[in-house]
Each structure stands twice: as structure tokens, then as C-alpha cells.
Chain A
Amino acid sequence: MTRESHDVHRNIPGAAAVASPPPSPAAGGKQTQPVAKGNESQSVLKRLQSELMALMMHGDPGISAFPEEENIFCWKGTIVGVKDTVYEGMVYKLSLSFPTDYPFKPPKVKFENPCFHPNVDLCGNICLDILQDKWSSAYDVRTVLISIQSLLGEPNNESPLNTQAAALWGNQEEFKKVVEKLYKPA
């Protein structure tokens, strides 16, 4: 018992004392940010700029993307549904965000407006292998957009995110109706 109270005694003033200086994790965090800022964009900047260049030079039909305002790490893209698919004529907006270790990691890609599709969930997340474990540094924004565009017409019904859409895919007319019903231009 005596030992206990002794410990308590020694401890509590100590605990109180440390409360005054700012806790160290926060301090650590604050110090990193200025170091990281400005500098990091440079290493990925060239890559993203060249991708933008390539995208604009190729002029692929039905796809486009451009950085959002001042932030080169966030892009907005558009995909137009391919002819002779249920998505014909639909325009879908996508957001692409690039990690700092791009191109070693895939960008995060999402639909911005609702898209009724077996491999797209209600929040716009896409289940596509090259955006996950099959990613390679050799892919770029252009290949990603083309892949998503072709995914629209050729869904992978084996692993659906939207099971309702997967079930309906067999009936293309009905499917088209739902697509049109749910479609909202961004």
C-alpha cells in the first residue's frame, strides 16, 4: 500500500508538468509539412505534365482530362459513352487524384455523377484491376480513361459491385432504361 501511494505521488506532478509543452507528435507533424510542401510536387510534376501533353496530343475520341485549377494532383476527366452501347451519348465526369509516389502507385479514380454499371458502386467507386493490383507504372491517365471507357461497354459481371446492374445486364433494353433514368449530367 505504501508503495502504491508513493508511486502516485511521484507520478502525478510529472504528468502535470508534461502537459504544458505541446505534445510531440503534433510537433513532429508540424515540422514535416513545410519540408514537404512545394518540394514534392516537383518530382511528380514532370510526369503529370507529360501525361497531360500526351493526352492532348493523342486526341482520343470521347475522353479528356485536365488538372483542377491550381492543383496538379487533382484532375477532372470526362468519358463519353461509346456508340452502340447502352451508354451511347452519356457524358460521365470522373475525378482523378494522384498519390505522391505516382506513378509507382495508381491514381484514385471515381465517377462524379451517378453511373449505373455492374462494376461501379453507388458512390462512384470503380472496381477495375489496373486501378488496383494490376497497376503498372507504364500506365497513364490516357490508358486509364480508355480502360474505363471500354469497361462501360464490357463489364466484368463475374465480380460486380452493383449486383442489381449485373443481374440486369442480360436485358439490354431494360438496362438502358435504368441507365437513362439514373443519369444526371454533372
Chain B
Amino acid sequence: MSNSNGVDSAESGIIQPTWDLETIIATVSTNPEPGMAISALHAIRETLANGSDEQLDFFPVLPVAQFLVKSLSRNGTFEENLLAARGIAYLCESLPSSINTVVSCGTIPAICEQLQGMEYLDIAEECVKVLEKIADEDPLSCLRGGAVTLVVNLIVFFSCNIQRTAMSMVDLSIGSCTEEDASLVVDAVPTLCSMAKHEDLQIADCATFSLLNLVRSFSGSSVLLDELCKRGVISTSIEILSDLFGAGVDERCINSFDLLTTAAAHSLLVTRTLLELNVGSIIRKYLLLIPDHSDIGYVKAHVFLDLIDVIVPPITKDAEDNQLIFCRENIIRDEPNLFFQFAKDILSALVQILVSGAKMEIRYGCVGIMYNITYFTTSDMLPDLMKNANISRCLANLLTVKNCHILVPSLKIVDTLMTKLPGYCLNSFVEDGVVNAVDELVLLHSAFAGRSEARLEETLAGHAHDCFCDVLNSHLISSSSISGSCRVENSGFVELAKAIKATYFAEEVISNVGYSKTIKKIKDSCMELKNAVDLFTSGVFSSSNEANLSSILGRVMRELTKQDSMSPNVFVKKWNIENSEALSKVFAWFNKKISKVLNTYQKIDDCMPNYIFFMDGKQLDRSLTLYQNILQQKVTAKTGYVIGPEFWENVHKVTYTRVEELSSADCSELCLRTDMSHYSDGVALLNWPKFLQSTRSLLNEFSVEPEEADFLRDVFFIMKIFESIDRYSFQILFSESKKDFAVGKVKNTEELVKVIASSDVQKEFVNAKLSDKLEQQMKDALVMKTGRMPSWCTKLMTSFPFLISFESKIKYLFLTTFKSSVNGNGRPEIPLHEIFVVNRTNILVSAEKMMAKYLGSGYLIELEYAGEAGIGVGPTVEFYTLVSHEFRKHGLGIWRGDFTSFDCPAISESSRKSLDSGLIATCAGLFPRPFSLKAKSKSKRKKTSKKFSDVINKKFVLLGQIVARAIMDKRILDIPFSRAFYKLILGQELDMYDILSFDPDLGRTLLEFQALVDRKRFVDANAELSRDASIFSFRNSRIEDLCIEFALPGYPDYTLPSKRNKEMVNIDNLEEYVSLVVDATVKSGIANQIEAFKFGFNKAFPLEALQIFNEAELERLICGEATHWNSSDLQRHVQFDHGYTSESPQAIFLLDIMLELEHDQRKAFIQFLTGSPRLPIGGLGGFSPPFTVAKRFCLNVVDEELPSVMTCVNYLKLPAYSSKEIMRQKILYAITEGRGTFPFS
């Protein structure tokens, strides 16, 4: 530049470089030669850009500015104008103090003239730069000069850089805008709106902020705000908010909320527009972030809440705003549908926040808003709203919060709801415990009555600084009321509670409350049950009767444990009032039922027919069970005897004598404890005394009133029984039918196993309220710090884990065992990482080394493969998968079904195929193969097998370590253990029934054998019965004819500890054979391996910590969601054929439905399709042949048919249902009902 300057001056020869600027300007003004002006402009620029400080200090601002403006405005050449504009820009930049002078010279009109002309983009850009500088110093003149509208109109022509400058200029100018200037800017609003959605963040931020400023400046005039609204400000903000969602809550988002709040606070049109634009759904989305993101502080939360607050008018009116609020109410009244939608969105979100245990301040805000909303909803909207959001449960929760700021609005909500909809609300309030909570509040007050009032306040108000009155600074409506003092009177809520109780919840009203549907249902079922029991006890005994009873029982149970139906507390109260008789009847039946089951095991009648039992000198009735007898004795001894815990704890002495030796004094004492834990079949069925003890200690923790305690205990007790019955239902049912077979009622062994196993109802036991309570407890700061839970939690978890949801259990495990809370994204907060290098060629050895080094440490292990660059989560996750696959490989010799460890003579085609993949193919899951320590006599073999067992045990130690570490680090293993193996991990003993779960063929045969054994025993005991060989036949052939040798099937090297080694199995040694095979398969044959596993596991953390889970949950914990698929998986791997294409509506329905299935349903679906609850290796894509859907042609009405499958070829045959809903129903029916039948029916 300086060069060209030199050339210019040399050419013109008039302006000398030594001249000062004043001289130049003076010369130029007298000489209208254009070349001169340009030279002068260059000179000015040169001085401004490169001039010394001294030159700048004495810069002739006024003449230069005048000259520049003149050059700019004059109809000069392009170059002149451009240089002039640049000159002004330089001037403003180098000498900010000159800006006022520049403005006073009329720069702005000149620039505006240029912009209006819009001849050259370059000039316009320079002008924008100048304006930005000016706006920074003197925004008002920029604005009033009309520059804003001009710039905004041109903005689309500029490059992104200049757009930024322009926006910043607009932003600065608008910042000082007042209502009088409205006409200057309103025209720019539509463009600003579109800029606010600009993809360049800086521009969008600026535009949003300008809009916010506009709204703020116009907040005094609703007319202007209406104008803005008409020009799309509101709809733009809504769009921005819905676009931004998911990107976190940033500055722009907060500004947009602020804008909406401010606008809505002063303009009715805005409020109405917001409702019309369904603002509720957007606020709802943002609100729902709060429970999951603890980092959204209450400041952010209140930005959301404020908006709701202005849309819903306050109930207490301040005099000055009366008019506006009145109109606001009118909107709500005029547009009930809009408001209903809004209320529906907001309320359910609020409820979620409230029950999530968010910060107290946020909760306070939420309750206040909830009150306002309920106040304005009409009674015909309420039922829907309450159904949608479960408000009453939330209220019951809130009423237990010991803080008057929460209590008062909560009570007001109760009051409002009761006024509006007494009938409906009363029912749900009773069910959900709101009534109870109010009672408690009143009681609490009277409890404190004797002490000083101050104490009460202290207890309830928490600490003085906990006042939240000012938190929701309804900053626009009632800013006047912000004062230092707390507006809530501390004991005010007590009066309120008393009033509510007196008005709505009077005793007589409550007791007359029609039983809610649930309770009615339970009552009805119980009556049914009672009748059935009467029939049952009157001596009619048949299995159909029995089945009927179980089905009724099942219904009662489902009602009892249905999610959200009611709290145990209320349930107990209900029973207390009227049903105690029915309950005791049911209970008695229950006892009987269980005793009856126990009886089969105890076989007092069958096995010891020749004994007479005495207790306290009285002979026992042999038609009754031992339990009934003892109970009867107690009752006759003392009227009004209640079965308490002492019944189970005491030792009842029962004496017996042999009948045929009546004369002899051969009476020995038999001490029978009523601890009925183990029975002849080794079924650890029910341990009553333990239940009772745990219930009782749990109740102590819950601090309930003593008269309630009994009932509560009963409920817990009955739940535990239901749960156990459910758990052992197959065993119970099978042993019943086995008994029928033994006495000849059932002829064939085939029929025997046609028992229906109950469906998986574990989930239905989960009590949402208890889970909520536990979750809240876990959020307690002290608990989070120390990882120590109150004792009631521990007891609840050890005795009644089935009441708690899986998610809560995981949190509990991490909190108590690893002392780390699980934060939002589900990873434990372990701060330190360790990096470990793995050798890819020898994964197991590396794993062993890694475990040896880090197993017990609290570090999160991250991995790196030797010679590879990758590090971090990816390789670590892959490592666990690789290790899992190593453990699944053939040749390890630790699992059943691993035939390569034998010299197997007959490897079939299919297993050879699976050998190629190298992984053990198993549909039922991995289970350790039996291995005996006692080797056969040959010494050489003994040595090898000893060595071999060491190798095996080492593997299991490592496996235990890996599993433990994977749980700790929240990694997922791809290793399908069988259900039975999980049971072992949980420390449960297995029995014959568990064999079914990992080896159905063997298990089934053994069960049938066992039934034959029982029949033989029965026949042997009754000499008069015929001993015809045919009754001992197994599927029409004699046991001997099966030619089974006395050896463990499939494992001939396993030595059964019996002398019959070379014999063949026959009916006489069948019993021994069965028990030895069972023992070898699930007990002693695998005991060492399991011990090794546990040993390895315990090195990381105590295995007992897992006992809060059941088998299915443990599987989810270790292997993750085994049935994971997403829509692209489905698109890729599901084929449609024979009548369908992937475009058929039914194909689309099916894929949608498959996506929408829940975890358990997906498992059931896969089981329905393939027979195995797991997806093959490789997920949906791993099916061979591929999963194919074909049209099922129906003769009858299509919508009444069910889908069917061909498990051989993974075919789903689907009728062409007319709608998605019907298809869903049919599929769900097929996968849940089909599953009930035992696979070998």
C-alpha cells in the first residue's frame, strides 16, 4: 500500500509526503481533481494505519472526518467512496474517541445513503464495519439514523464474516432501543428471526440476543409485543428451542426461554400464541432433562419453570396487575383444549421431577406451578390429567417432605383437587396414601404440642436459610413482593392439614369410600378364593380343583403386586377394616397349601404309617399336617391364639411310638423344629421362620404403629410366599403330578411331564413405591458419600429383593459394594484409570496377568493391545468380548457340550459346522461339565486327571475374576451361561429340575425315571398292589431294555461312586442311578469348579453382594440386554418371502412391533421363534438360515388367526393382519401363551 501511495503522489506531483493531513485536505478541497482526492484518502489511511503515536495524538479529527464524509456522500467514483468508507473505519478503530465527532459530521446519513443505493457490495461492507464501530460507542444514533433496518435488509448479501459484524452492530444498536424507536426496528424483525436460526452459531446467538433485547425493551407495551409476535418472534423462538433440544442447555436456549417468558408476561397475544404452538411439549422435553442431569442447576431449571409460571396466571393477585391476570385467566377459560394439552404435558413432567428427588429449590418451584395448574383446570379435565401423571402418588410423596415450603402448596393442591372432583380424587388419594400422609401431618403437630413451638418449626422448616420464597422470582409480575422475609408461616400447614382432614377426609367418609377398583377386585377374588378353599377343605380333592385354586391365587397375587396399584400400607388398612376374616381364611388356606406341599416331602403318612405322634400328651390327628396339628393344639390351649413369630421360633416337642409296639416303652423323643427348610428331595422350598424374622426386623425399621405392624408383616410375608411359590411352581406342580403317577392316577410317564410352568412374573412383584423410596434414600448426600445405607434398606434388600426394580438394584449394588454412585450415563465414577497392555495372541494369559495385578483395585482398567495404537474404551470393551469368546471355545474342556475334548467318534455335520466357528453352540447356555476327583483305579490315569482338574479349576478362578471385574467396570461379557449356572453363582443349590434348563433331554428323562422310582416305592410300601412289571415301564419299555450302563451319560470317564459300576440300570437300582447322575451333574461333579469360580470372584468383591438379583437379572447384569436390536439390524437381517415383501404393510408393522417390544418380550419373541431365549452369535444376523417372515394363508377370518413358527428354519408365518394393533396383540399372545407350555409337552 505504501508503495502505491508513493507512486500516486509521485505521479500527481502535488501532494508531498511531507505535508501534514490538514494541508492535504485543504489542498484537495480547493482542487476538485478526483485523482487528488484519492491521493488524499490514501494519505489519511496511511497515517491512521502506520502513523506514530505522536501523529495520532494530534490527528485533525474534525477536518478529516468532514472530508471523509464528504468523499463518501459525494457522487464520487467507486474508488473514492470505497476509500472514504475504509478511511472512516480506520479512523473509528484507531481513534475511538473520534467516534462522536464522526457521527456529528453526518456519517450515518451518508452511510445510509450508500446502503440504500447498494451499488457496490465492497462499499456496503465497509459501511457495515463503520456502523459496528459507531454502534459500540453510540448505539442510539445508529438506531435512530435508520441504519439497523438498512443493514438487516442487506444482510443476506454479505459474506458470513460481514454478517457477523452486521449482527453484532444490530445487536449493539438494539441494546439501547426504547419503545419510541419501535418503528425503526419492527421491519427488521422478520429478518432477525431468520438470522436467529442461522447455522453460524455466532450469528444465531447475536440475533437471538437482539430479539431478547427487543422484547425486553418493549416489555412495557403489549401493543408492541403483539406486533413482534405477529412478525414471528415467538414462533421462531419455539423453533429454536425444539431444534436446540438435545444439544444441551446453552446460552441461546436460555435466552430463548427468557424471551418467551418476558414476552408472555406482558402480552396476551403471546400467551395465546404459545399455547397454540404447543409450547407445553417443548417445555416438557426440557423439564425432563432435570431428573437425569444433576448438572442442570436450579438457575437453569427455573428458566424453564418461569415460562410456565407466566403462562399460568398466579392465584394470588397483586392489585396493579389485576387486569392482565384477569385476561390471562380468560384465555385459559376460552381455550380449554389448548390449556388441557399444556397442562397434560407439564404436569406429568413435574411429577417426574418431583418424585426423582431433585433439589429442594426446584421441587418448590414445581409444586407452586402444579398448584397453579390444578387451580385452573376444570373438573372435567382432571381425571385425564391425574391418570396421565399419577398426581396423587406424587402428592403422597411430597407430603412426607418435612419442609413447610413444600407442604403448604402440596396441601393446597390436595384442597383444590378435592373441591373440584371429590369422588374421583378421594379414591385415588386413599389408594395412594395421601389421606394417610395428611393424617400424619396432623398427628405430628399434636405430637409436638407439648413442646415448644420453636422446636416444631425447627423440625419442619429445616433451617432458616432454606427459605425458597424468592427462588421463583416471578420477576416480572410481582417483583414488589420480594422481601427478605419468608412468606410462609411455619405452622400454617398444620392448620391447612387440619382443615383438609376435617372437610374432606373425615373418618366416616373414608371408611365409606367405595372400594377402589383394585381393592374391589382383590376382595372379589378373595371371596372366590375363600369359597374354593371351603370346597377344598370339605374334602373334594382333585387336581382340577387345585388348578382352579392356583389360578385364583395367581389373580389375587397379580392384583396385590400390580405396579402402582396401591401401597402396602393402604392395602393393610383396607383389610383391617373389613376383610380380616377373609384374609385369615386365605392365609389359613395358604398355610395348608404349603403344608400340603411340604407334606409330600415329609411323607408323614406315607413313609411312617406305623407311628403315632403325640404332642403335650395328646395324640395328633393323622389326617392333618404336622403344622396344622401344632396350630390346633395351640388354639385349643388358648383361645384367640395368633400365629406370631414365636410359633416359628419355639421348639415344639413331638413324641412318637410305633403302633405295633404299643405296649413297649420304646418311645423316643423326636425334636422337630418347625424349621422346614430341607426335604427329602433336597428342594429348599420355604424357610418360614427366616421370613418372619426378617419381616419383623424390617418392620421395626419402618417405624409403623404396632397394630399396623402385624398386618404389614402379613403382607410382606404373603408376598414372600407368593414369590417362592412362583419360583418353585414347576417343582411343586411336578411333584404333585409325580405323586399322582406314583399312586397310579396317571398312567404314563409321557403325561406326567405335561405340566404347565408358570410364566415369568418376577417383574410383577416389583413395587414401584418401595423402589422410589430406595432411590430417594440413595440420593441422600450422606449415603452417597459413605456408601452406607440405613439398616432398613439392607434388610429389605436381603429379604425382599424381589420388590425392588432391577435399575434400583444396580444402583444399590454400586453404592454399597463399590462405594460409587452411578451417574447419568451409567458409569461408575472411578477417577483413576490404569492402562494395561494385552497380547492379542494369548488373550487368556493376558487376562490372568491383568487380574493378578488389578483385580481388587478401585481403578478403572483400560486396555491397549501390544503393537496397536488404540487405547481406551473401544479396546477394553473388545477385550472382554474376546475373553468371553476364549472361554466359549471348543477344547477348553470346561463346559458341557464341548465334545472336542473327547475323541468323539461321531461328530455330526451340524456340530462340525459349529466347530468351524470355534465356539460351543448351545441353545440352553453354558454349564460346567462334571469332573470327578476320584479317578479310576489305574494310577496313571489318576495322575493325569488330578493335573487336569487343576487346569480346569484355574480356568474357573479366572472366569470368576473376569466376571467380577466386568461387573465392577460395567463391561459386558458375551458369554451365555445357563440359568442354572447363574443360580450357582447366587449360591443356590441345584436339583434335578435345574438339569432341564441346560440339558433338557437328560433332565426330562431323569424326571421320568424319578417318577418311576416314586411309583416303585409306593407299590413296595403297599404289598397288596400288583407288582406287574408293566407298571414300571418307561414309555412302554422296561428299564433294563434301555440298556443303560451305570455310568454318567456322556462322561464315561466320570466315576460314579457306586459299587454297581459294571451293571446295567434296572428298576431296582434306578433310584440310586438317578440320584448319582443328578449328584454328579449338578452337585459334587461341579462343586470344585464352582468353588474355584467363587474363589476367583471373591478376590474382587464379595459374591454375596449379587444375591439381591435373581437369575434373570444377573444375566442382564453380566451379559447386558441379550436381545438387542435396532431398526437397521431389523432392516438388514429380517427377510420377507412367500407373500410378503419388505414394503408390505405387514412387514412394516412387524418391524415396528419388534422394535417396540420390551426386554422380556424380546426374549420371549426369540424363544418363540427359535426355541432359545438368546440370539445366536452375531445377533439377528447370526441366524442360519436367515430369519424369514412368510405369509400365513388362513381359511378363516385373518384377524383371528395366530402367527406360527418353524423353529427348524427360523420361519415366522404371519397372517396378513389388517392393523398393527391387532398384529401386536396376536404376537404378544403367541409369545407369552406359547411359552407357558413346557417344551416337551
Which residues on A are within 8 Å of B, measured CB to CB? 3-4, 7-8, 11-12, 14-15, 18-19, 23-29, 31-37, 39-44, 46-47, 49-51, 71-74, 97-101, 103-106, 108, 110, 123, 125, 127, 132-138, 159-161, 163
Cβ distance A144 to chain B, nearest Cβ, rounded Å? 14
Partner of A127, one of B837, B892, B899, B1208: B1208
Q: A42-B1052, A127-B1206 are in contact. List 8 more A-B contacts (CB 8 A).
A: A4-B835, A11-B866, A39-B1053, A43-B1047, A99-B899, A108-B909, A123-B909, A133-B1000
- Chain B interface size, under 10 / 10 to 19 / 20 to 34 / 35 or more: 35 or more
Question: Which of A15, A19, A34, A43 has a CB less than 8 Å from the CB of B1045?
Answer: A43
- The reply to whether B952 and A28 contact each other, CB–CB distance below 8 Å, is yes
Query: For the complex, what is the distance from the CA of A21 to the CA of B834, rounded to whole Å?
Result: 28
A28 near B892 with CB under 8 A, answer: yes
Give CA–CA (A127, B1209) in the complex, Å.
9
Query: Complex Cα distance A110/B1138, Å?
Result: 27
**Interface residue from A27, A108, A138 paired with B1036 (Cβ < 8 Å):** A138
Asked if A23 and B836 make an inter-chain contact with CB atoms under 8 angstroms apart, the answer reads: no
Report how far A137 CA is from B948 CA in the complex, Å. 31
CA distance A134 to B754 in the complex (A): 12
Closest to A105 in B: B1001
Q: Tell me how far the C-beta of B1125 lies from the nearest C-beta in chain A, rounded to whole angstroms.
A: 25
B1045 nearest CB neighbor, chain A only: A43
Q: What is the CA–CA distance of A101 and B902 in the complex, to the nearest angstrom?
A: 12
Q: Mark B586-604, 1 if CB is under 8 A from A, else 0.
A: 0000000000000000000
B1052 CB contacts on chain A under 8 angstroms: 36, 39-44, 100
Asked if residues B845 and A23 are in contact (CB atoms below 8 Å), the reply is yes
Q: What residues of B have a CB within 8 angstroms of the CB of A39 in the complex?
A: 1052-1053
Verify A47–B835 contact, CB threshold 8 A: no
- On chain B, the residues within 8 Å of A163 by CB distance are 1138
Q: In the complex the two chains form, is B902's CB within 8 Å of A33's CB?
A: yes
* Chain B contacts to A: CB under 8 angstroms: 750, 834-837, 839, 841-842, 844-846, 849, 866, 886, 889, 891-893, 899-910, 941, 944-945, 947-948, 951-952, 954-955, 999-1002, 1004-1005, 1034-1037, 1041-1045, 1047, 1049-1053, 1064, 1138, 1171, 1206, 1208-1209, 1211, 1239-1240
The 8 closest A-B pairs by CB, nearest first: A101-B1050, A97-B906, A138-B1035, A108-B908, A40-B1052, A47-B1043, A73-B906, A36-B902
Whether the pair A138, B1042 counts as a contact (CB closer than 8 A) is: yes
Taking A32-B948, A133-B1239 as contacts, is the C-beta distance between A25 and B1053 under 8 angstroms?
Answer: no
Contact of A104 among B892, B951, B1005 (CB under 8 A): B1005
Q: How far is the CB of A126 from chain B (nearest CB, A)?
A: 10
B901/A36 in contact, CB under 8 A: yes
Residue of B nearest to A49 (CB): B1043
- Chain B residue contacts of A98, Cβ below 8 A: 906
Residue of B nearest to A4 (CB): B835
- Which chain A residue lies CB-closest to B948? A31
Selected from B839, B910, B947, B1035, the residue in CB contact (under 8 A) with A136 is B1035
A110 to B906, CA, bound (A): 13
Asked if B910 contacts A108 (CB within 8 A), the reply is yes
Q: A7-B836, A23-B845, A27-B951 are in contact. Are A161 and B1208 (CB under 8 A)?
A: yes
- Contacting residues, chain B, for A110 (C-beta < 8 A): 909
- Does A32 contact B901, Cβ atoms closer than 8 Å? yes
Answer whether A101 and B1002 are a contact pair too, CB < 8 Å, given A24-B951, A25-B889: yes
- Out of A11, A135, A159, A160, which one reaches B836, CB within 8 Å? A11
Question: In the complex, which residues of chain B have a beta carbon less than 8 angstroms from the beta carbon of A49?
Answer: 1043
> CB-nearest residue of chain A relative to B1211?
A159
Q: How far is the CB of B133 from chain A (nearest CB, A)?
A: 48
Separation of A63 and B1047 alpha carbons in the complex (Å): 31
Docked CA distance A8–B902 (Å): 39
Alpha-carbon separation in the docked complex, A99 to B910 (Å): 12
Contact present for A8 and B837 (CB under 8 Å): yes
Report the Cα distance A133→B1209, complex, angstroms. Answer: 15
Flag if B834 contacts A7 (CB, 8 Å): yes
The answer on a CB contact under 8 Å between A36 and B1053 is yes
Residue of A nearest to B1064 (CB): A46
CA distance A135 to B1005 in the complex (A): 10
- Contacts known (A19-B842, A104-B1001, A108-B909); A31 close to B947, Cβ less than 8 A: yes
Given contacts A104-B1001, A138-B1036, contact A74 B906 (CB under 8 A): yes
Q: Assess A133 versus B1171: contact at CB under 8 Å? Given A11-B849, A24-B844, A101-B1049.
A: yes
Q: Which residue of chain A has its CB nearest to the CB of B935?
A: A35
Tell me if A15 and B951 are in contact (CB < 8 A). no
Which chain B residues border A137 with CB–CB below 8 Å?
1005, 1034-1035, 1042, 1044
> Are A29 and B844 closer than 8 Å at their CB atoms?
no
State whether A18 and B1043 are in contact (beta carbons under 8 Å apart), knowing that A7-B837, A127-B1208 are contacts in the complex.
Answer: no
Residues of chain A within 8 A of B899, CB atoms compared: 99-100
B902 to A12, Cβ gap below 8 A? no
Contacts of B904 in A (CB 8 A): 100
Q: Please, which residues of chain A bring their CB within 8 A of the CB of B908?
A: 97, 99, 108
Q: Tell me, rounded to whole Å, the shortest Cβ–Cβ distance linking A34 to chain B.
A: 7
Report Cα–Cα, A19/B839, bound state, in Å.
Answer: 10
CB-based contact B893/A103 at 8 Å? no
A53 to chain B, nearest CB (A): 10
Separation of A136 and B954 alpha carbons in the complex (Å): 37
- Given A15-B837, A47-B1043, A108-B909; A134-B1240 close (CB under 8 Å): yes
Contact status B891-A25, CB under 8 Å = yes
Residues of B within 8 A of A23 (CB): 842, 844-845
Cα separation A40 to B1054 with both chains bound (whole Å): 10
Residues of A within 8 A of B901 (CB): 28-29, 32-33, 36
For B1138, list chain A residues within 8 Å (CB). 163
A106→B948 CA distance, assembly (Å): 30
Contacts of B837 in A (CB 8 A): 7-8, 11-12, 15
**Complex-state Cα separation, A21 to B893, whole angstroms:** 19
Residues of B within 8 A of A31 (CB): 944, 947-948, 951
Contacts of A103 in B (CB 8 A): 1042-1044
Using known A-B contacts A7-B836, A43-B1045, A105-B1001, determine if residue A14 contacts B849 with beta carbons closer than 8 Å: yes
29 CB < 8 A contacts A-B? A11-B836, A11-B866, A14-B849, A24-B951, A25-B889, A26-B891, A28-B892, A28-B893, A28-B952, A29-B892, A32-B902, A32-B948, A35-B1053, A46-B1043, A47-B1043, A51-B1043, A73-B905, A97-B907, A99-B1050, A100-B1051, A101-B1002, A104-B1050, A105-B1050, A108-B910, A110-B909, A133-B1240, A135-B1001, A138-B1037, A159-B1206
A127 to B1064, CA, bound (A): 32
Chain B residues near A97 (CB-CB < 8 A): 906-908
Which residue of chain B lies nearest to A137 when distances are taken between CB atoms in the complex? Answer: B1005
CB distance from A134 to the nearest CB of B (A): 7
- Closest CB-CB distance, B1181 to chain A, in whole Å? 21
Please pick, from B834, B948, B1047, the residue contacting A35 in the complex, using a CB distance under 8 A.
B948
- List the A side residues contacting B750 at CB < 8 Å: 136
A122–B12 CA distance with the chains assembled, in angstroms? 100
Once A100-B904, A137-B1034 are accepted as A-B contacts, the answer to whether A35 and B941 lie under 8 Å apart by CB is: yes
Is B1002 in contact with A104, judged by CB distance below 8 angstroms? yes
* Docked complex Cα distance between A7 and B947 (Å): 33
Given A98-B906, A138-B1037: A35 touches B944 (CB 8 Å cut-off): yes
- Please give the distance in Å from A62's CB to the nearest CB on chain B: 23
Distance between Cα atoms of A6 and B849 in the complex (Å): 15
The answer to whether A28 and B891 touch across the interface, beta carbons within 8 angstroms, is yes
**A24 to B505 alpha-carbon distance, docked (Å):** 74
Residues of B within 8 A of A159 (CB): 1206, 1208, 1211
**Alpha-carbon separation in the docked complex, A43 to B1171 (Å):** 31
Most buried by B among A24, A31, A47, A136: A136
Residue of B nearest to A163 (CB): B1138
B273 to chain A, nearest CB (A): 58
In Å, the complex CA distance between A164 and B358 comes to: 63
Q: Are A15 and B842 in contact (CB under 8 A)?
A: yes
Residues of B within 8 A of A101 (CB): 1002, 1049-1051
The reply to whether B1045 and A47 contact each other, CB–CB distance below 8 Å, is yes
